[in-house]
Structures are given as C-alpha cells and as structure tokens.
Amino acid sequence: MKKSILFFLLLFFPLLNSMAANSFLLAESASAELKQLLSLSLEELLQVEIDTAGKVSEKIGKIPASVVLITRQDIQRYGYTTLDEILRHVSGVYHLNFYGTGGASYGVRGYLSTSTANRNMIVLVNGISQVSDYDSSYLLPTVPVPVEAIDRIEIIRGPQSTIYGSGAFFGVINLITNETNQKKGAASYVSLLGGSRQTRRWFGRSSYVYDQGQIVVNLGGYQHDGFDVPYQRLESKPQGQEWDYRTGGRMESEEKYFELSGTYQNLQLDITHGNTDTEGFVSRPVIGDGTNRHLESTHLRVSYHQKLSNQLNLNGHLTYIHNDIRLDYDSPFPSTTTDFQTIQSTAYEGEVTLQWKLPKYLDLTSGIYYRYAPDIASTIDLPGLPNVVSLQKATQRLQSGDSLVNQAWFSQVNYYPNQRWKWVAGLRLEQTLGYDVFAEYGANSTQYKSITPHYDAQEVAVGNYH
C-alpha cells in the first residue's frame, strides 16, 4: 500500500507543481478555441474533419450520413456530468432506461433496442470497440470515461455496418480522449467536484508533446447515490408489491478510470482500465440494496500508421481485451440466499486497412478484420429460484482448446463526380467460425446434467451500402 501511495505521489507531484503555471495557458487555449469555433460560418463548420464515419479523415459536409460533433466546450457549456446525460440531449438519439445494471438503451431514426443490452449502436473509445464478447452488447457502464477526459464525441447516426460490422446498424459513437491543446511541452490540471445525492468527482490529466509524438494520461473517479423516488413513479403498470418502497440506496454507482495514450512517430499505444459498480433492478420491486454489477475491463492497443505515398495510407492495430463481471442479484421478497452470476471473457483483435485516395474524385478504403476469443465463460447460481433447475450451479464455457472467431473483409468506395454529389458503395463479407460449448447445471447429483452443443460456422454474411 505504501509503495502504491509513493508511486501515486511521484506520478502526480510534478503535475500538481506545474498545474498553477499551466492552468492559465489551458484556459486561454480553450477560450481561444471556443471563440474560433463560434466565429465559423455554417459552411466553414462543414469543413471540420472527423475520422469515425469511414475510418478515414473526412470533412463533415462530405459525409453521406447524419453526423453530430460534441466538443469539450459543449460539455462544459451545458454542465453535463455523465456520458448518459450527453447522449440523452443529442437530437435524433432515442433513449430508454430500464433502471437496470446495464444502463440505458439507445437508438436512432425511430429505431431502438427493446432489451437492456445495446447491440446495434457501437461504442468506441479512441476507435477501440467496447463490445462484450459474451453477449455482443455495448453497455455504458462498461465505458467509465470521465466527462472531463472527453475532448470530443463523434456520433454517426445511421447504418455503418460496411466498415464496423453488424453491431453498427443504428450507428457509431466514438469518444476521443487523447487530444492535446499545447503545441509543445507539458500541461496538466486536476479537478474536484461535489454535489447533491452525495455526488463526488475527481479527475487529473497530464499531457506532454514533443517532436516525435505525445503522451496523455487521464485518471478519474465518480461516485453518487442515485435518485430517490417511489417505485410507482418508475412503473407503467403497478405490480402490487410496492410496500411503499423507494429507490433510495438501491441505485448507487461508482466508477474509476485510468488511461495512458502515447504516440511515437508512426506507432501509437493506448491502455485503458475501468472499474465500475452499478446498482439497479432486475426484478422490481426489490427489498434489499438492489442488484449490483461489478465490472473490471482492460483494453490495450498497439497501432501503426504509415503513409506509403501521396495516395496510399496503411493503418493497422492489434488489441487485447479482458472483461471480468460479477452480478449479485437482489430479490423482491425476503431471502437468505446468495444469488450471483460471473462472466469472464478475453479476446484479441486485429485489423489492417489500406486507403487509396485519388485527387478530387475517388477514394477507396479496404481492410481485413479478425477477432479471436479463446476464453468466454459464465457461472450462475440462483438458489433463490429453486424450481428453475437450469439456473442452479450452472456453467457455460467454450470447450477446452476451442475459441470464438470472427473474420471479415470490407471495402468502401467514395466517388465525387462534382462538388455537389458523392456516390458511396460498400461491401462487407463477414463470418463467425464454428465452435463447441460445454454447459452443466444442477444443485445436486439428482438434478445434474451436462451438454456439449456444437455451433456450426455461419455462412458468409454479405452487407452492402450504396
């Protein structure tokens, strides 16, 4: 413990020491940037470039999709404190909250997932997918990025499956957290905040820019007690078991986040680690402290960017992903049992893209994608529901030596016949290979049963866009 405290002090003492000298420069830079954006005309704003739409830098005015760009200045101006608050205030993004531990669901253009798991709206952090390999979901509690770390958010409303795969049917949300304001040297700041509902926030950032690249470190935490209202206010149809219970003490949340991002010439390294505890409801109402979802997630990516010529650019990355989840289930009636579920997954992801751009009228992006998940397992035990035999000491996992593999090839062509028109054509070939699963359940030897199902390889799925 003493070594950890010493390391923390050694890491942040230089930041605190330089904070006073750099805070004025940061404020002056942010103010100048905001004034510059506010002074731009609509035509000039359409010339701002983003990378999310086609994995290539494009001007907003030339992207054939509905694009929303949220800047750090927007977040500060409206006082947003969570990512959920930001997304709820984006025009055209639909929000449905089940008050569960998985957070809210989001959709666009009138379409919305009807379950608690987001499976059609990809969430990225600096281009790194936050997908869960267990259920192919994108849950906001798995993205504990402090709002103070967000430099901008790029939201593409509408299908992006050609570039990102089947999970992007509704669109893409990309959080950018590793940009710097200074042209050279170090900058840092620390912020602390407290408010109603026992809200506590702390955040620190340090960045350093040098001739060969840059380094950005973000470290933050967030804790609050949730809202306190009667159960009846959350129910469209009364269940008759409210007993005058309220949500107070059953909707608490705590998040911790660490990020290290650095570039050196053509190489880039991104490391993130998140730790969250989220309370919510699975069966409503409950009489205990609420169902708790604890998550630890780690992402590590190494990227390489090379300009081969004036027309050719090569990009590639390798990513390591690990998620460890535990759910402790609450009950709507008095119970002395411990009902829980654990989920673990480990995956490796690789992608290589080649961008070919001709002056004025044509550009092409092609790539290959491969995701390898050798470890996906879940254990669930609900002794509080003894009649459901399949949920007693139940285990599901990949067979020893087997893995879940997804592979794809994609290509997208943009054609500009003139200044007013842009034609886009895309094709994606994607396949999930076959795999074997081992499953068992039963609270005792009489109930015990095991099965070993085999899942055949999917036929190649073809996605196109024009």
Q: Is 151 left (phi over 0), alpha (psi -120 to 50) or beta?
A: alpha
Query: What's the chain's average pLDDT?
Result: 83
- 247-283 pLDDT, tens digit per residue, is 888 889 999 999 999 999 999 999 999 999 999 888 6
| Total domain count, the chain | 1
Could you tell me the pTM of the whole model? 0.85
Here the tokens at position 182 are 């200074």
CB 295 within 8 A of CB 142: yes
**β-sheet bridge partners, residue 91:** none
In this prediction, residues 56-63 reach a mean pLDDT of 63
The percentage of the chain sitting over the pLDDT mark of 90, rounded to a whole number, equals 44
Residue 18 has pLDDT above 80, yes or no: no
Q: Please identify which residue in the block is written with the tokens 């997304």.
A: 87
Vertex 79, ends 76 and 85: CA angle to 5°? Answer: 115
Q: Please identify which residue in the block is written with the tokens 């608690």.
A: 116
Q: Would the CA dihedral through 44, 50, 55, 57 be positive or negative?
A: positive
Domain that holds residue 37: 2-465
Whole-number pLDDT of residue 15 = 42
Contact residues for 362 (Cβ-Cβ < 8 A; gap 6+)? 413, 414, 415, 416
Q: In a 10 Å sphere around its CB, with 0-12 CB exposed, 13-18 middle and 19+ buried, how is residue 207 labelled?
A: buried
- 112-147 pLDDT, tens digit per residue, is 766 656 778 889 999 999 999 998 888 887 889 999
Residue 1 has pLDDT above 60, yes or no: no
Q: Give CA–CA dist 119/167, Å, rounded.
A: 6
Secondary structure letter of residue 86 according to DSSP:
H
Of 98, 70, 105, nearest to 84 by C-alpha is 105
Residue 94 has pLDDT above 90, yes or no: no
Q: Please identify which residue in the block is written with the tokens 């949920």.
A: 391
In this prediction, residues 188-210 reach a mean pLDDT of 90
Buried b (16+ CB within 10 A) or exposed e, 276-305: bbbbbbbebbbebebbbbbbebbbbbebee
Residue 218 has pLDDT above 60, yes or no: yes
Residue 35 binned pLDDT confidence (cut-offs 50, 70, 90): low
Whole-number pLDDT of residue 153 = 92
Range with lowest mean pLDDT among 7-16, 201-210, 350-359: 7-16
Range with lowest mean pLDDT among 70-74, 182-186, 331-335: 331-335
Q: Give CA–CA dist 439/363, Å, rounded.
A: 48
- 365-384 pLDDT, tens digit per residue, is 999 999 999 999 999 999 98
CB 251 within 8 A of CB 330: no
What's the CATH code of the domain at 318? 2.40.170.20
Contact residues for 327 (Cβ-Cβ < 8 A; gap 6+)? 101, 291, 292, 293, 294, 340, 341, 342, 343
Residue 464 has pLDDT above 90, yes or no: no
Q: Would the CA dihedral through 95, 99, 100, 102 be positive or negative?
A: positive
